[in-house]
């Protein structure tokens, strides 16, 4: 009796997740229906299958369809070299997340173009485009299933061995080995709760598993204890290696590691440089750095 009860509870929980996921998918499809621009072209151009993608944002003007009067990006121009790490910094509403949304082609651009490895993303197959890009969001979704299956969301066809290798690279294997049933430990609402730092490392393991050439990282704003912070930074270091990375940065360690920092305000790029160069300009960046990183300007 007890076994059956436990199993059906687990099942209903999984079912709840499936329904929630299906609901989210419906909303996404609903959204796409009202975005006539968002369809794969009939004869899509193939994105080059190389490991380093350059990204080129050219003269982008964009407003969200629901807010035609407000320009979310205004003449946005940026060329990112293969393997480069760009940190996006700017006040709330500056347009940082919009850059991600457009690269993933959740919206059609009104003016300008984005090319990935020389191919206009509007000419690419949407599924192939999104296979090319891994995302580490601010908040990690943990599903009501085992640790193993939670990581597998990064690549559904992954073997258990691949998942464990990714977990090691993401500095997650160590804490997983200490869980009651290791990789079989059940997570989610009725399962074990992970700390924020542990969840972030699960998210990084998924992205490592996906092994996409382009990485979009929306850094968490919540602070971690010093040890988790170091583990997460190590894991990110591993993930970002050899990938073209765009990161919405909230941490000093992250801007210091970036090749270039792009400062945004009101949908525009207002400055580009290194942390030191930007501090010396005593502009918006210096003020933001003082607020966000406690850096004296």
Q: Which residues bind ligand ATP (CB under 6 A)?
A: 64, 66-67, 70, 72, 90, 92-98
Please, where are the H alpha helices in 170-246? Answer: 173-177, 196-210, 226-240
Q: How far is the CB of 80 from ligand ATP (least distance, A)?
A: 18
Cβ proximity to ligand ATP: between 166 and 289 the closer is 289
Q: How far is the CB of 277 from ligand ATP (least distance, A)?
A: 22
Strand 214-218 with 133-136, pairing: parallel
Cβ proximity to ligand ATP: between 7 and 221 the closer is 221
Q: How far is the CB of 95 from ligand ATP (least distance, A)?
A: 4
Cβ proximity to ligand ATP: between 86 and 166 the closer is 86
Q: Within 13 Å and on the Cβ side, how many CA atoms surround 28?
A: 9
Cβ proximity to ligand ATP: between 1 and 68 the closer is 68
- Report the residue count for the chain: 297
Strand runs labelled E in the chain: 55-62, 73-80, 85-89, 111-116, 119-120, 133-136, 214-218, 244-248, 260-265, 268-273
- Residues ≥6 apart with Cβ < 8 Å to 278: 261, 263, 271, 285, 286, 289
Cβ proximity to ligand ATP: between 72 and 194 the closer is 72
Q: How far is the CB of 90 from ligand ATP (least distance, A)?
A: 5
Q: How far is the CB of 109 from ligand ATP (least distance, A)?
A: 14
Distances from the Cα of 291 to the Cα of 157, 202, 260, 286, angstroms: 43, 29, 20, 9
């Amino acid at each position: 009796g007890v076994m059956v009860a436990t199993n059906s509870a687990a099942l209903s929980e999984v079912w709840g997740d499936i329904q929630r996921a299906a609901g989210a998918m419906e909303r996404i499809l609903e959204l796409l229906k009202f975005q006539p621009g968002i369809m794969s072209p009939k004869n899509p151009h193939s994105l080059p299958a190389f490991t380093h993608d350059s990204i080129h944002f050219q003269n982008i003007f964009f407003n969200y369809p629901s807010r035609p009067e407000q320009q979310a990006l205004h003449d946005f121009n940026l060329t990112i070299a293969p393997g480069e790490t760009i940190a996006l910094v700017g006040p709330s509403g500056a347009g940082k997340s919009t850059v991600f949304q457009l690269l993933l082609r959740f919206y059609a651009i009104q003016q300008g173009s984005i090319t990935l490895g020389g191919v206009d993303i509007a000419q690419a197959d949407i599924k192939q485009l999104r296979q090319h890009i891994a995302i580490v969001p601010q908040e990690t979704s943990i599903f009501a299933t085992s640790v193993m299956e939670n990581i597998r969301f990064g690549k559904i066809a992954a073997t258990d061995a691949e998942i464990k290798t990714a977990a090691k690279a993401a500095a997650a294997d160590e804490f997983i080995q200490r869980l009651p049933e290791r990789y079989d430990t059940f997570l989610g609402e009725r399962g074990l709760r992970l700390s924020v730092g542990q969840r972030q490392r699960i998210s990084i393991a998924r992205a490592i598993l996906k092994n996409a050439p382009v990485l979009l990282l929306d850094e968490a704003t919540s602070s971690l204890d010093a040890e988790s912070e170091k583990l997460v930074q190590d894991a990110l270091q591993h993930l970002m290696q050899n990938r073209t990375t765009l990161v919405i940065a909230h941490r000093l360690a992250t801007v210091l590691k970036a090749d270039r920092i792009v400062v945004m305000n009101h949908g525009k790029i207002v400055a580009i440089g290194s942390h030191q160069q930007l501090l010396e300009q005593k502009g918006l960046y210096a003020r933001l750095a003082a607020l966000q990183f406690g850096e004296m300007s």
